[in-house]
Chain A
Amino acid sequence: MSFAPSTTSVKLVLLGEAAVGKSSLVLRFVSNDFQENKEPTIGAAFLTQKCTVGDRTIKYEIWDTAGQERFASLAPMYYRNAQAALVVYDITKPASFIKARHWVKELHEQASKDITIALVGNKYDLVADDNDSDDSLRKVSMEEGKALAEEEGLLFFETSAKSSHNVNEVFVAIGSKIPEAKPVTEELGSRPGNVGRIDLSGPALRSNLSDCAC
């Protein structure tokens, strides 16, 4: 098997408060599966998934980080050199939205300048039926989410890992914002001079590794 020449590897990191559904979003995207009580992630979990965007294939290398505050000191290791980030909150938990704001700020300050960030309000299934009623479980309005996304220049989605609502859409949207023939090796990716420059060595190197049998 060999990758089409247009396969792009994208390092993506998920950040957000504990129990907002980061791992569940990834599980839905990678395995199209859902588990009601998924064990808390410790440190970070690594997963991969391919995704077709237009005429090219994006291969996501996903770092799904743990949400608890104590593990936050590990986060820079994972968002360093990431080309994309999903900042996830739970639309029924206002605290998680505040936390999301914090992560966006940290990414803008610390991560690579051209990182593509998507703000994701998860657990849409909990409010899908009673969006307008007063006793809705929704605690963060879609407008609040959109406003933050516009302010910070982020993609924005409300998703449900449980119902799979909008999950693939997030990854497709990120994929289409990732420039073609993006440098994929970590060293190159972090070098500011490479921003926007077409770098042929990156993808070629990666596909050589995968095709080493030939």
Chain B
Amino acid sequence: MAPKRRPEMSQVSSNGHNEFVFGEKGGRGKNLLSFLKNLSLTGPLLNSHKNDNSEEINRNINSSIYGEMTYGYTSPDTGGLILPKAAASLKGKRLSLLSFFPYGLSKIDTTDGSGTQSNNGGSSRLASPLFRHATNSMSALEASLRPSSRKSGFTDLDDDWDAQIDDVDPEVAPVVLKPVARSSTNDMIDLLHPDLMAFAPSLRISVERKPSQRHPSRDRALMDSHDRQAEQEVRFLNQMLTKLTKFQNILLKNDGTIDLHELRKLSWNGVPAELRASVWQLLVGYLPANKSRQASNLMRKRSEYAEGLKNVSTQILFKDDNVISSTANSSAASVPGGRDSNNRDNSVNKDKALYHQIKIDVKRTNPSMPLYSLAATQQSLKKILYLWAVRHPASGYVQGINDLCTPFYQIFLGNYIWQLQRKAAHKTGAPDDSPLFIPGILDDNDTQEQLILEDPKLMTYTAENFDPSRISDRVTAIIEADTYWCLARLLENITDNYINEQPGIHRQVSDLRNLILKIDPELLQHFEAEGIEFIQFLFRWMNCLLMREVSVGLIIRMWDTYLSETPLGFNLFHVYVCAAFLIKFSAELKEKDFQDILLFLQNPPTANWTEKDIEVMLSEAFIWQSLYVNKGAHLR
């Protein structure tokens, strides 16, 4: 309840920080105490999360503050706010606090799987002018806000290690921040001029919904809500700014070579969306750290991809699916299914059967996301997967690899859109972001590109609402090539998972079982008593790297960390992450029988998860890895 929050408040006010000025508010005085009081007024909401009614109230407030457009809560019937029992206490607070975030947070916690989708369009607003402009006026605020503004866990090893220790206190609601795209270009205004937005009707808070607030003057409540919003806004901007600046410092450092060690350290805690494409390419070793070699290297790799594709497409015509599928049938028919009894005399037929398998899987890849039902996307995925499969015959195409392809594809597509947006913004006076661009993508002679640049809706596009068929063949080939090579690097890390008999997965499953034996022997005991075999649920966790269990937006966050591990974390580190994931549900699982355990683990309740949940899980995995790795053959 509210009293638990008081010590924090008094601490803040006794430190003499009870008065401060918002940099963007034209010197209007703001009383922090009133802000905190408002925070404490949320107490009943925060603590009554078991009461569905309060969730309802909470959501109503949210939608009255932000309107349906910006606030991402889902309808109650999808269970958007129904929290898993175990985490409810902590999470209830987080959700409630989030309801005071003015914007830029609208999609934090949706259940549709795209909630925390990294979003280049949105972050582009944050990328440059705003941040640079806002820095000075806000830096003074940062110190005064710090006591109450805990950064989200493990966001930064360098600066916030201490803050993280404090975060153990569950009474301090953790803050999860995520830039998102806005659907309207008008939204540009609100970040540049928050004070204008303070008077926007859509931001008016409806205090009547809170019984305890029914009588105090409405004006006062209105001011308080402005305080809250401004406070959160400043906090949000500061976090994003600090992080972005650090990344920019590494990427733009002038000595010609990017410090990958520093980059890994920083990226482990999450990469800003607009820099993710280039950072990922650096982390997997596709984009050279030596800047003088970047352009030429990428050009070579991209033409290698094009060449490879040319060679295989003499056998397989990607565009003519009907021809392929009918011949694929007859070819598959000539191979009556012995496990490895492929007809080696007829490699063309074999390739066609392979193509058929990829084709039917691409159609049903990530069906919840519209991007993947578009013909252009499917065409690209087919090419990437097919080329990878024929060039890696020991493994070939295995179901699940199609899933692993998608984060790269959408990040790189989003990066192209972002580059276009920054280029367009630069023309109208925004700072030049081109030093941060992945080389060789934009081209003034590309007529289709010029059309997109002139599209008045350009600033609203993201990888989620843009049809890649509008992109020129030139850029499509680049996005495919970049996706191909990064996917190839990822799969190199887990080759054994997809070769015959999939020994890598069986090894991971047995490692995880041994790990659970150490960490949570009661859970293991319970599983054994119920007759659960780990492979029954772990197979998919390993084969698809949790992509079926966690929304792709959060998977992308996880990959920031996986890609920062050396060696890449998709193999060894993933086992520790799966252990953390499993143990997260330990208490519930111990109450369930065979059938319910399997049903639960096949569909774990992650719909409401935020990046914070992922980061906690990654941190636990990290701790266990440090504890158990290098301690002899602990897992064997």
CB distance from A36 to the nearest CB of B (A): 8
* A42-B595 contact given A73-B501, A102-B336, CB 8 Å threshold: no
Pair A46/B540 contact, Cβ less than 8 Å: no
Q: Is A31 an interface residue (CB 8 A)?
A: no
* A71-B602 contact given A39-B367, A99-B336, CB 8 Å threshold: no
Pair A70/B329 contact, Cβ less than 8 Å: no
- Considering only residues 581-623 of chain B, those with a C-beta below 8 Å from chain A are 593, 595, 598-599, 602
Q: How far is the CA of A38 from the CA of B593 in the complex (A)?
A: 28
Return the contact of B337 from the options A19, A46, A71, A102 (Cβ within 8 A): A102
Pair B540/A73 contact, Cβ less than 8 Å: no
- Considering only residues 1-28 of chain A, those with a C-beta below 8 Å from chain B are 17-19
* A43-B595 contact given A69-B339, A73-B502, A102-B338, CB 8 Å threshold: no
Q: How far is the CA of A42 from the CA of B543 in the complex (A)?
A: 7
Q: How far is the CA of A102 from the CA of B341 in the complex (A)?
A: 12
Q: How far is the CA of A61 from the CA of B498 in the complex (A)?
A: 28
Find chain B residues with CB under 8 A from A19 CB: 360-361, 364
CB distance from B331 to the nearest CB of A (A): 8
Q: Is B370 an interface residue (CB 8 A)?
A: no
* A40-B364 contact given A45-B602, A46-B599, A68-B357, CB 8 Å threshold: yes
Find chain A residues with CB under 8 A from B396 CB: 70
Q: Is A161 an interface residue (CB 8 A)?
A: no
Closest to B540 in A: A42
Find chain A residues with CB under 8 A from B543 CB: 42-43
CB distance from B295 to the nearest CB of A (A): 38
Return the contact of B364 from the options A38, A69, A99 (Cβ within 8 A): A38
CB distance from B127 to the nearest CB of A (A): 34
Q: Is A207 an interface residue (CB 8 A)?
A: no
Find chain B residues with CB under 8 A from A47 CB: 599
CB distance from B419 to the nearest CB of A (A): 31
Q: How far is the CA of A147 from the CA of B230 in the complex (A)?
A: 75
Q: How many residues of A contact B (CB 8 A)?
A: 37
Q: Is A153 an interface residue (CB 8 A)?
A: no
Interface centre among A40, A45, A47 (most CB of B within 10 A): A40
Closest to A95 in B: B332
Q: How far is the CA of A19 from the CA of B598 in the complex (A)?
A: 23
Return the contact of A139 from the options B329, B402, B593 (Cβ within 8 A): B329
Q: How far is the CA of A61 from the CA of B594 in the complex (A)?
A: 11
Return the contact of B399 from the options A48, A71, A98 (Cβ within 8 A): A71
Q: Is A94 an interface residue (CB 8 A)?
A: yes
Q: Is B548 an interface residue (CB 8 A)?
A: yes
Q: Is B312 an interface residue (CB 8 A)?
A: no
Find chain B residues with CB under 8 A from A68 CB: 357, 398-399
Q: How far is the CA of A19 from the CA of B358 in the complex (A)?
A: 11
- Considering only residues 88-106 of chain A, those with a C-beta below 8 Å from chain B are 93-95, 98-99, 101-102
* A70-B399 contact given A39-B367, A48-B595, A98-B333, CB 8 Å threshold: yes
Pair A94/B536 contact, Cβ less than 8 Å: no
Q: Is B43 an interface residue (CB 8 A)?
A: no
Find chain B residues with CB under 8 A from A93 CB: 329
Pair B400/A42 contact, Cβ less than 8 Å: yes
- Considering only residues 45-79 of chain A, those with a C-beta below 8 Å from chain B are 45-48, 61, 66, 68-74, 77
Q: How far is the CA of A93 from the CA of B396 in the complex (A)?
A: 22
Q: Is A209 an interface residue (CB 8 A)?
A: yes
Q: How far is the CA of A43 from the CA of B595 in the complex (A)?
A: 17
CB distance from B346 to the nearest CB of A (A): 14
- Considering only residues 130-151 of chain A, those with a C-beta below 8 Å from chain B are 139
Q: Is A186 an interface residue (CB 8 A)?
A: yes
CB distance from B263 to the nearest CB of A (A): 33
Find chain A residues with CB under 8 A from B360 CB: 18-19
Q: How far is the CA of A61 from the CA of B593 in the complex (A)?
A: 13
- Considering only residues 496-551 of chain B, those with a C-beta below 8 Å from chain A are 498, 500-502, 531, 533, 535-536, 539-540, 543-544, 548
Q: How far is the CA of A10 from the CA of B367 in the complex (A)?
A: 32
Q: How far is the CA of A35 from the CA of B400 in the complex (A)?
A: 19
Q: How far is the CA of A35 from the CA of B373 in the complex (A)?
A: 14
Find chain A residues with CB under 8 A from B373 CB: 37
Find chain B residues with CB under 8 A from A127 CB: none
CB distance from A183 to the nearest CB of B (A): 15
Q: How far is the CA of A209 from the CA of B594 in the complex (A)?
A: 10
Q: How far is the CA of A67 from the CA of B551 in the complex (A)?
A: 24
Q: How far is the CA of A139 from the CA of B531 in the complex (A)?
A: 42
* A42-B544 contact given A74-B539, A95-B329, A102-B338, CB 8 Å threshold: yes
Q: How far is the CA of A43 from the CA of B539 in the complex (A)?
A: 6
- Considering only residues 360-413 of chain B, those with a C-beta below 8 Å from chain A are 360-361, 363-367, 373, 396, 398-400, 402
Q: How far is the CA of A45 from the CA of B539 in the complex (A)?
A: 10
Q: How far is the CA of A43 from the CA of B357 in the complex (A)?
A: 16
Find chain B residues with CB under 8 A from A73 CB: 339, 500-502
Q: Is A195 an interface residue (CB 8 A)?
A: no
Pair B498/A39 contact, Cβ less than 8 Å: no
Q: How far is the CA of A41 from the CA of B540 in the complex (A)?
A: 9
Find chain B residues with CB under 8 A from A17 CB: 337
- Considering only residues 109-145 of chain A, those with a C-beta below 8 Å from chain B are 139
CB distance from A50 to the nearest CB of B (A): 12
Q: How far is the CA of A57 from the CA of B531 in the complex (A)?
A: 24
Return the contact of A72 from the options B332, B339, B367 (Cβ within 8 A): B339
Q: How far is the CA of A102 from the CA of B598 in the complex (A)?
A: 29
Q: How far is the CA of A77 from the CA of B509 in the complex (A)?
A: 15
Q: Is A173 an interface residue (CB 8 A)?
A: no
Pair A209/B365 contact, Cβ less than 8 Å: no
Interface string of B476-506 (1 = CB under 8 A from A): 0000000000000000000000101110000
Pair A46/B339 contact, Cβ less than 8 Å: no
Q: Is A44 an interface residue (CB 8 A)?
A: yes
CB distance from B496 to the nearest CB of A (A): 13
Return the contact of B367 from the options A37, A48, A69, A209 (Cβ within 8 A): A37
CB distance from A107 to the nearest CB of B (A): 13
Find chain A residues with CB under 8 A from B540 CB: 42-43
Return the contact of A98 from the options B336, B366, B593 (Cβ within 8 A): B336
* A46-B536 contact given A61-B595, A70-B498, CB 8 Å threshold: yes
Find chain B residues with CB under 8 A from A70 CB: 396, 398-399, 498, 500, 502
* A38-B502 contact given A45-B602, A98-B337, CB 8 Å threshold: no
Pair A42/B399 contact, Cβ less than 8 Å: yes
Find chain A residues with CB under 8 A from B539 CB: 42-44, 74
A-B contact sample (14 more), CB < 8 A, given A37-B364, A94-B330, A95-B332: A18-B357, A18-B360, A18-B399, A37-B363, A38-B367, A42-B540, A44-B536, A48-B595, A48-B599, A68-B399, A69-B337, A73-B501, A77-B533, A98-B333
Chain A to chain B contacts (Cβ below 8 Å), 21 pairs = A19-B360, A37-B367, A39-B365, A39-B548, A40-B399, A40-B400, A40-B402, A42-B400, A43-B543, A44-B536, A45-B602, A46-B595, A46-B598, A47-B599, A70-B398, A70-B498, A71-B399, A72-B339, A77-B535, A95-B332, A98-B337
Chain A positions near chain B (C-beta within 8 angstroms): 17-19, 35-48, 61, 66, 68-74, 77, 93-95, 98-99, 101-102, 139, 186, 209
Chain B positions near chain A (C-beta within 8 angstroms): 329-330, 332-333, 335-339, 357, 360-361, 363-367, 373, 396, 398-400, 402, 498, 500-502, 531, 533, 535-536, 539-540, 543-544, 548, 593, 595, 598-599, 602
